Structure 1
């Protein structure tokens, strides 16, 4: 869920950068662009940490 949210937010950031570069019509200002990229980064870190915690829980529960 967090990984999908991170991808969606990053696509918004990328669309803003692409529109600014090719069409000179970026819809986010500098501060908003920074906040969107920051949100994508935070969501990505949360997704990776949750996945790592799930993997550690699954590895620790195995009995041989």
Structure 2
């Protein structure tokens, strides 16, 4: 779920960047864009940490 959230947030960020570069004007301001990218990064890091914790638990159960 967190990876999906990270992907969705990054897609919003990417869409804004592409629209801005095409001269169509982005729909997010500078601060909003930064906050979206920050939220995507946090969601991605949380997802990675969850997967590492699950892998560590599965390795401990195999012992």
Which TM-score applies when normalising by structure 1? Answer: 0.94
Mapped pair 1:17 → 2:14: no
Q: What is the alpha-carbon distance in structure 2 between the residues aligned to residue 34 and residue 44 of structure 1? A: 15
Shift of 1:25: 1.3
Q: Give the equivalent residue in structure 1 for 2:27.
A: 27
Q: Give the equivalent residue in structure 2 for 1:45.
A: 45
Shift of 1:24: 3.1
Count residues with an aligned counterpart: 63
Q: Secondary structure at the match of 1:61?
A: helix
Q: Structure 1 regions of 5+ residues with no counterpart?
A: none
Cα deviation, 1:4-56, whole Å, max 9, x if unaligned, reads: 10000000000000000013310000000000000000000000000000000
